[in-house]
């Protein structure tokens, strides 16, 4: 009986391997690891924002609405808990992506306004925070691209025959990925005209009240 049991186990292992189960498991772990990296980089950015806002506030006292816009966008992003289970929930994933997109736009808007303050730009603390923020944005881009690639490979396996049968049997679901909706607008720094009133630091798709006119350099 023990011999036959061992043979059945070996046969079952071979069948699972041949039907793509091992590939699904490996690719599923790759997606989870890539997602964890995305979350870590977004958290790193969120941790930089309070110091950045306080530094800018010391020089750009008239830009309160822009500063508030960044702070509120950060709060909205942090209010959505990025758990590992989120990659199984397309609706929550979309909300997370939208909140992070709004924060990205708010930060770019803020950095555009800082051009009007030469003393701020020469502040060593601000320059350090700016460099850290730029580095973090680059790491976010890399992490997102890795996640997109991992999900593409995994989803292709889940949908392909005959591994789609194994995926259904073991409940491997198609995973959501980052979309290109509004990506071009988010990735482009807002144009700031220092001679005219500007709009607040909200995402392109969200309406916001007009921001106070930035001071004109003399």
Structure tokens at 203: 């995402």
pLDDT at 19: 75
pLDDT at 20: 85
In a domain, 118, yes or no: yes
3-state secondary structure of 19: coil
Q: Where are the alpha helices (DSSP H) in 160-195?
A: 163-169, 183-187
Structure tokens at 5: 């049991």
pLDDT at 195: 38
Segment (H or E) for 162: none
Q: What is the pLDDT of residues 41-92, one digit of tens each?
A: 999 999 999 999 999 999 998 899 999 999 999 999 999 999 999 999 999 9
Distance between CA 14 and CA 190 in Å, rounded? 56
3-state secondary structure of 199: strand
Angle at CA of residue 180, ends 178 and 186, nearest 5°: 100
In a domain, 68, yes or no: yes
In a domain, 150, yes or no: no
In a domain, 49, yes or no: yes
Average pLDDT over residues 137-149: 96
Distance between CA 199 and CA 210 in Å, rounded? 4
**217 CB contacts (<8 Å, ≥6 apart)?**
116, 118, 194
Q: Which residues of 51-65 are buried (b: 16+ CB within 10 A; e: fewer)?
A: ebbebbeebbeebeb
**151 CB contacts (<8 Å, ≥6 apart)?**
31, 34, 175, 176, 177
In a domain, 7, yes or no: no
In a domain, 123, yes or no: yes
In a domain, 135, yes or no: yes
Q: Which residues pair with 199 in a beta bridge?
A: 210
Domain range holding 76? 38-144+178-187
Which position has the higher pLDDT, 17 or 91?
Answer: 91
Looking at the structure of the chain, the number of domains it has is 1
pLDDT at 71: 96
pLDDT at 180: 63
In a domain, 76, yes or no: yes
Q: What is the CA radius of gyration of the chain?
A: 23
Task: Give me the percent of the chain exceeding a pLDDT of 70.
Answer: 74
Interhelix angle 21-59/2-18, rounded to 10 degrees, is 50
Q: Is the pLDDT of residue 138 over 80?
A: yes
Distance between CA 151 and CA 97 in Å, rounded? 15
């Amino acid at each position: 009986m023990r011999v036959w049991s061992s043979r059945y186990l070996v046969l079952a292992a071979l069948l699972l391997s041949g039907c793509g189960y091992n590939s699904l498991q490996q690719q599923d772990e790759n997606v989870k690891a890539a997602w964890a990296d995305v979350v870590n980089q977004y958290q790193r950015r969120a941790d930089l924002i309070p110091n950045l806002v306080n530094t800018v506030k010391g020089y750009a006292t008239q830009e309160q609405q822009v500063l508030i816009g960044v702070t509120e966008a950060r709060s909205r992003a942090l209010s959505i808990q990025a758990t590992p289970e989120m990659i199984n929930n397309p609706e929550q994933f979309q909300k997370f992506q939208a909140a992070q997109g709004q924060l990205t736009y708010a930060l770019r808007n803020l950095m555009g306004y800082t051009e009007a303050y030469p003393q701020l730009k020469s502040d060593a603390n601000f320059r350090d925070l700016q460099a850290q923020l730029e580095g973090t944005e680059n790491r976010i881009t890399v992490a997102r691209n890795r996640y997109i690639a991992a999900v593409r490979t995994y989803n292709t396996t889940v949908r392909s025959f005959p591994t789609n049968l194994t995926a259904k049997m073991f409940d491997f679901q198609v995973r959501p990925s980052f979309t290109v909706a509004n990506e071009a607008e988010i990735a482009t720094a807002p144009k700031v005209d220092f001679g005219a009133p500007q709009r607040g630091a909200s995402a392109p798709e969200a309406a916001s009240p007009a921001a106070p006119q930035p001071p004109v350099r003399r």
